[in-house]
Structure 1
């Protein structure tokens, strides 16, 4: 139960935020919910006066409809059984005239709602505003009042419309708002109440802390069965049922459930579910409410799977799934190295790439040491002294069925240990990338680790389903936060295969796939010690073949000129080259002859470099054995090094004029 204990402690550490709404970027509100409460999306807001008379009603959309509602144990886990919420609920429960407008119902949901509400009102913890609501709903005129105010709409027979139809086919009649906010028909509308009392500033009952405390005290008075809580170790009132709606308001899946007394949930091991585990009501409420809050606040949800990271001392921690550029932006670190951190071979370049895309005017090849300093600076923003007991919790949640949810991954790490492992990931699975734009629409060049979502797209294509993406993210996570975990070989292999097939992708997509694949290969071959900067000492056959492919590509591209956009022979034969390098090289080399003749003496520098690379091969290595992913590193680094001339390295100036750079930027915008 360590996960529930961590969540319970998180709730206790943030009691000052209970009931306070925060707003997300999309405008939706969320809050750390009080115990004995849950959240729902209300569709209709009904205003009453202090005598319980109907004043007005308004339709609320998803952004405005977020509502904290009182909730009993039974209602928190309700599925198809008619169990009412204590105060706010659907028309089925709160409307006494539901049968008149919607037809027959099973059981007595309205009467059950009234009885429960009356019990609360008559208890020592009753609230005068709740009594006002009871006085109104007991009259049984809610739907009639809403129809009279044109909030709800009926057909010719006096029943609620199931879907909107323009009267007499008149398309000019505006569609009522209620049909835009409801997924089903009008009978499924959720109702919340506001009581307008002169001199009372808070008329919204879902925001009134005194109403919330009233129900909390009432609910606690109803709990009597005590046992040892497996979370706190104390003898406390025990929760018989546990809450659902963890990921969102419509989520029916539960993390703790033992209602299958006739099946095999616990039979054969225990006589009752209590013998398996007992969790106190308060621990269950606090833990689940903290989890809901954290998911809304900082969770990443993909196809129902939730990825969540939080710290007990500081909630906001760097996400393991983000790329290095996101890390820089969060901590305010400039992704471009400062002048004092630049190496001798750092430079600016802006020339055409092998895919026909101009290379960026931006950061050149920083050394591993300088790049590591930048990462340490970014991660350092999350480090602080005097927190020896600080820890970070990593959790992945998923539901295999609509009713059952599981924790598919859980780790609780020391704060410093987590940051150290994150720093190690960003300084080992790194390469130079240029596939993101800033707020001004300009392409950004950064050196670092790619986001795990982008790794999925590089390995399986941009049309990979959410199911594939979330599966890869879950498999990559242990490689980031655990020690001695290698990247899954099949993911690296798939990315290499896609990067080796540039003719099957748009140029911008291939450039992104190539740089991400280079980062994966660099991590997978970590012991080799390769960097973005060209390694002119290595005799690895795959790396050397990659360098030769880059030179062939550069030679032909330069001979074709800017106006010609077609792929070079090196690009066209790249896939075959990776499988049969020696045989395919003969084809590529023979196809280079016309371009050498076209370039004349200018081709000598390419031929000379090819000869130098060829002389580094061992005789037995120049064969048709398939290349490893290191050939992509050789290709990328050789191409990158070529675009940084010796003159630029020494002077720090670019060989392109401002006019040429502007033309290249226009070409980037047109192609990407």
Structure 2
């Protein structure tokens, strides 16, 4: 249970952050507490007298509430929360204003009985006592009607179709504010109330058992928290309902034999996980990925483009935010990573955790990925990934060298062109992230089939309505091919390699020259697709025979160029031809992904030369 122990330690180290943080939306909950969205706020005085009521804005609806083991997991049946709850539990006059033949009084009776136990304990507070005294009067709905919060029909019954923040009046959640002499009158923000409820729960004289996480005797639980990935998530990491038939797969007699976890330990571990996910989790479909450092030091975003974490160290210098050469990128990447390294303690560990469920928001939540990695090793692997994957692309609309995110890779390799963007389905993105994460954090080889698919997509520019979508696909394909080349050969230059004699690379260079030359000689400029791009797919499959067609159709465009430029392109083609052996050139076998690197680097070299001459 290393994952649970790790999360338990996160909670223990950061108890000073319990409650709301002004600088962050995520909430580290007190143990034995949860959150609910309140629709109505009732204000009473310290003696338990009604003062006012109002509806709650959606932006302010999230409310920290005490919960019991049963109420935190309730789906059906009667299981009241200890203090703030739905109207059916806290309103003693609920039955009088609802059209129902069913006896609904047990909801309120059990709520009051439970609240009375807290009131009678040494851990009651003036706020709890005031709320108890008020609710004993059984007049809540009547006063909410008088206050204009609730609307009724001509029989005095609550209008079922009348809603508050999208919730029917009879189902609203109520929270309390108590006007006493304390600094914090809002019960959901009162730390003294948190602490007293925690002491009340832990004063239980229930039998203690061995907690498998801490190795100590503790009051243990079989009911573990939900709401892990989001507030509507009902899937649980630990659960057991296999009580009949092939009980616990025939290995155990009872749940406690499988695992025994302290109630407080489970609460702390799950609360820490919820907090981390809310702060820095990545979500797609049912998959959630969260990465953290054991002291919560700042980390580069695991699933982002390189440019997203350059900004933290680049300031306003645009050249540093958008490096446009391999050398500039390497410098900026090293600067950023050294910045993150400087924040790590000597005992720093990075934890990467993946959570998924077969049915989104329901059932069992599985840990699909769990890694504990030394902090410096994690950054070394991540730096290596970004260095190996970096290529020439467009980041936030500007040309730059960077490594694409897994989500961007999924869209280009497995997605489709939808309007102005490349998009992939959520399950495709999820599967791609699952496959690429081990490459990023463990240094595993890039999936070969993914590289081949990217090369095939980039070899069909005619399949794209928008040129920039094909350009994006080419960027992704080159990035993946470069990574594969480094894994196989140890090196892959980003600039044009004029001495390279690789057959695929040379054919790619030829294709680039033909593409640029035809575009230069075309009267329609950039509006029409060149023969080089039109035949690109066939060229990648049968380069020798297809090059003859492209070369033949290139001649009319060369003739339109001024003599100097025509000579430049013809000379360049001849220089590339000189690098071939006769056998390599004349074999009509398909090209590997290296031809895209030759194409892209040669294109860049020509355009950069043009820009230099124009300046």
Q: TM-score scaled by structure 2?
A: 0.92
**3-state DSSP class of the match of 1:114?**
helix
Q: Does 1:195 align with 2:178?
A: yes
Q: Does 1:445 align with 2:394?
A: no
Q: CA deviation at 1:236?
A: 1.6
CA–CA separation in structure 2 for the residues paired with 1:276 and 1:626: 56
Please say if residues 336 and 446 of structure 1, whose CA atoms lie closer than 8 Å, have aligned partners that are also in contact: no
Please say if residues 312 and 391 of structure 1, whose CA atoms lie closer than 8 Å, have aligned partners that are also in contact: yes
Change over 3 Å in CA distance of 1:466–1:543 after alignment to 2: same
Q: Does 1:391 align with 2:374?
A: no
Please say if residues 210 and 216 of structure 2, whose CA atoms lie closer than 8 Å, have aligned partners that are also in contact: yes
Q: Map 1:475-554; keep pairs closer than 5 Å.
A: 475-483=435-443, 485-505=444-464, 506-526=466-486, 527-528=488-489, 529-554=491-516
Please say if residues 304 and 405 of structure 2, whose CA atoms lie closer than 8 Å, have aligned partners that are also in contact: yes
Q: Residue by residue, what CA displacement relative to the aligned partner does 1:272-296 show, whole Å, maximum 9, x if unpaired?
A: 1111111111211110111111111
Please say if residues 261 and 267 of structure 1, whose CA atoms lie closer than 8 Å, have aligned partners that are also in contact: no
Alignment partner, residue 661 of structure 1: none
Q: Map 1:274-313; keep pairs closer than 5 Å.
A: 274-313=256-295
**3-state DSSP class of the match of 1:262?**
coil
Please say if residues 355 and 366 of structure 2, whose CA atoms lie closer than 8 Å, have aligned partners that are also in contact: yes
Q: Does 1:555 align with 2:517?
A: yes
Please say if residues 222 and 255 of structure 2, whose CA atoms lie closer than 8 Å, have aligned partners that are also in contact: no
Q: Map 1:568-583; keep pairs closer than 5 Å.
A: 568-583=530-545
Change over 3 Å in CA distance of 1:498–1:153 after alignment to 2: farther
Q: CA deviation at 1:311?
A: 0.5
State the Cα RMSD in Å: 2.2
Alignment partner, residue 39 of structure 2: 43
Please say if residues 46 and 56 of structure 1, whose CA atoms lie closer than 8 Å, have aligned partners that are also in contact: yes
Q: Which runs of 5+ in 1 are unaligned?
A: 165-177, 339-361, 437-442, 649-653, 658-672
Change over 3 Å in CA distance of 1:398–1:94 after alignment to 2: same
Q: Does 1:473 align with 2:433?
A: yes
Q: Residue by residue, what CA displacement relative to the aligned partner does 1:482-524 show, whole Å, maximum 9, x if unpaired?
A: 03x1112222222222222222221121222211221111001
**3-state DSSP class of the match of 1:56?**
strand
Q: CA deviation at 1:406?
A: 1.1
CA–CA separation in structure 2 for the residues paired with 1:638 and 1:321: 30
Q: CA deviation at 1:264?
A: 4.7
Larger RCO (CA under 8 A, 6+ residues apart): 1
Alignment partner, residue 111 of structure 1: 109
Q: Residue by residue, what CA displacement relative to the aligned partner does 1:364-423 show, whole Å, maximum 9, x if unpaired?
A: 5334xx543332211011113883321010001112231311111000011111111111
Change over 3 Å in CA distance of 1:479–1:238 after alignment to 2: same
Q: Residue by residue, what CA displacement relative to the aligned partner does 1:42-64 show, whole Å, maximum 9, x if unpaired?
A: 22211112232222222223321
Change over 3 Å in CA distance of 1:549–1:47 after alignment to 2: same
Deviates more, 1:148-157 or 1:230-239: 148-157
Q: Does 1:641 align with 2:605?
A: yes
CA–CA separation in structure 2 for the residues paired with 1:93 and 1:331: 53
Change over 3 Å in CA distance of 1:12–1:605 after alignment to 2: same
Q: Does 1:620 align with 2:578?
A: no
Q: Map 1:50-89; keep pairs closer than 5 Å.
A: 50-89=46-85
Alignment partner, residue 127 of structure 1: 125
CA–CA separation in structure 2 for the residues paired with 1:363 and 1:205: 51
CA–CA separation in structure 1 for the residues paired with 2:395 and 2:389: 17
Equivalent pairs counted in the alignment come to: 599
Change over 3 Å in CA distance of 1:534–1:87 after alignment to 2: same
Alignment partner, residue 418 of structure 2: none
Please say if residues 158 and 169 of structure 2, whose CA atoms lie closer than 8 Å, have aligned partners that are also in contact: yes
Please say if residues 519 and 525 of structure 2, whose CA atoms lie closer than 8 Å, have aligned partners that are also in contact: no
Please say if residues 225 and 236 of structure 2, whose CA atoms lie closer than 8 Å, have aligned partners that are also in contact: yes
CA–CA separation in structure 2 for the residues paired with 1:306 and 1:577: 41
**3-state DSSP class of the match of 1:266?**
helix
Change over 3 Å in CA distance of 1:364–1:66 after alignment to 2: closer
CA–CA separation in structure 2 for the residues paired with 1:495 and 1:365: 23
Alignment partner, residue 629 of structure 1: 593
Please say if residues 22 and 31 of structure 1, whose CA atoms lie closer than 8 Å, have aligned partners that are also in contact: no
Please say if residues 323 and 329 of structure 2, whose CA atoms lie closer than 8 Å, have aligned partners that are also in contact: no
Change over 3 Å in CA distance of 1:385–1:37 after alignment to 2: closer
Which has the larger helix fraction?
2
Q: Does 1:603 align with 2:576?
A: no
CA–CA separation in structure 2 for the residues paired with 1:465 and 1:259: 34
Q: Residue by residue, what CA displacement relative to the aligned partner does 1:293-342 show, whole Å, maximum 9, x if unpaired?
A: 1111111122232110001123422122111111211233788768xxxx
Alignment partner, residue 17 of structure 2: 17
Alignment partner, residue 175 of structure 1: none
- Within the candidate set 197, 219, 224, 2:201 is matched to 219
Deviates more, 1:43-52 or 1:153-162: 153-162
Q: TM-score scaled by structure 1?
A: 0.85
CA–CA separation in structure 1 for the residues paired with 2:103 and 2:497: 76
Change over 3 Å in CA distance of 1:16–1:294 after alignment to 2: same
Alignment partner, residue 343 of structure 1: none
Change over 3 Å in CA distance of 1:35–1:475 after alignment to 2: same
Q: CA deviation at 1:140?
A: 2.6
Please say if residues 324 and 400 of structure 2, whose CA atoms lie closer than 8 Å, have aligned partners that are also in contact: no
Q: Map 1:179-194; keep pairs closer than 5 Å.
A: 179=164, 181-182=165-166, 184-194=167-177
**3-state DSSP class of the match of 1:525?**
helix
- Within the candidate set 223, 228, 231, 2:213 is matched to 231
Change over 3 Å in CA distance of 1:160–1:33 after alignment to 2: same
Q: Map 1:363-442; keep pairs closer than 5 Å.
A: 364-367=324-327, 371-384=329-342, 387-401=345-359, 402-436=362-396
Q: Residue by residue, what CA displacement relative to the aligned partner does 1:430-456 show, whole Å, maximum 9, x if unpaired?
A: 1122141xxxxxx33322211111111
Q: Which runs of 5+ in 2 are unaligned?
A: 416-421
Q: CA deviation at 1:363?
A: 5.4
Change over 3 Å in CA distance of 1:146–1:231 after alignment to 2: same
Please say if residues 92 and 109 of structure 1, whose CA atoms lie closer than 8 Å, have aligned partners that are also in contact: yes
Alignment partner, residue 330 of structure 1: 312
CA–CA separation in structure 2 for the residues paired with 1:547 and 1:152: 74
Q: CA deviation at 1:156?
A: 4.8
Deviates more, 1:539-548 or 1:57-66: 57-66
Please say if residues 320 and 481 of structure 1, whose CA atoms lie closer than 8 Å, have aligned partners that are also in contact: no
Please say if residues 397 and 406 of structure 1, whose CA atoms lie closer than 8 Å, have aligned partners that are also in contact: yes
